[in-house]
Amino acid sequence: MKTIQFREAICEAMSEEMRRDESVYLMGEEVAEYNGAYKASKGMLDEFGAKRVIDTPIAELGFAGIAIGSTMTGNRPIVEYMTFNFSLVGIDQIINNAAKIRQMSGGQFKCPIVFRGPTASAGQLGATHSQAFENWFANTPGLKVVIPSNVYDAKGLLKSAIRDDDPVIFMESEQMYGDKGEVPEGEYTIPLGVAEIKREGTDVTIVSFGKIIKEAYKAADELEKEGISCEIIDLRTVRPMDRDAILKSVKKTNRLVVLEEAWPFGNISTDIAYLVQSEAFDYLDAPVVKINTADTPAPYSPVLFAEWLPDYKEVIKGVHKVMYK
């Protein structure tokens, strides 16, 4: 095993797949000459050249369309968005073309493409740079949506995403690029659509994904001091979602708290709550609790932002609620 940063895991995954398959290429703003806005493509221009590591203008709609079109001629592009907030400029291409090419061509064309970059908040970046759109993309048939929470998962999941024959939305975090973790020296992949139990427990299930899951870990440590055993599931992929993993855990613990950095209306945790009440209702000893951001645009003020974003204290309150404490 070796210890690397999150950004290095992303870079290694892309580089290894580009060495493996000449049809894979990377394009986006500042990915080449600047080594990536977050240095996640450092050294790739030198290794692969300007034909496979392509700097683009600030024109997300344009380069998204170019990349999607190139899949129909045998390429496997990786499109980096400086932030998924900017993907809204190109969302017509993602939703109306990438997600629908396979069906609308009667299976004649596939669309093996990865759209990757940071999602959700990252401190005082203002309302327009602090949004989580996982549920927007996950609502769309034809797209797969992946949100890793650590270095090991990021590398293994990205390699699988690049090899996948369908479009994959791969969502990272600006606040995780400096995170460190261990990965194997050799090659490995992690299948899409498979959740992982990050912490075994018996009293309550906490389901989360992405960087916000760190708050669940903090909460579980505090709750353990009270004698409450938390099982933490990292979804890793929200579409397809590993529903069996959620149901199996809830049937064991009989309680569920879902932690998601997203506006509360119509999000991933809403779908999880519906799943559990419809397929594991008789196992529940308490109503499902979901913990999300406040139902407002993200504030710039650090005091207001701290109130807007869920933290471990809210997770503890949620667990106490389902435990009737």
C-alpha span between 119 and 131 (Å, rounded): 7
Does a cis peptide bond (omega within 30 degrees of 0) precede residue 297? no
C-alpha span between 75 and 54 (Å, rounded): 14
C-alpha span between 247 and 134 (Å, rounded): 21
C-alpha span between 30 and 43 (Å, rounded): 13
**Bridge partners of residue 233, in order along the sequence:** 197, 207
Token pair of 210, please? 């992405």
Among 129, 172, 174, 261, the active-site one is: 129
Length of the chain: 325
Among 29, 60, 215, 261, the active-site one is: 60
Known active-site residue 16: no
C-alpha span between 309 and 297 (Å, rounded): 11
Known active-site residue 320: no
**Bridge partners of residue 204, in order along the sequence:** 230
Residues carrying an active site annotation: 60, 129
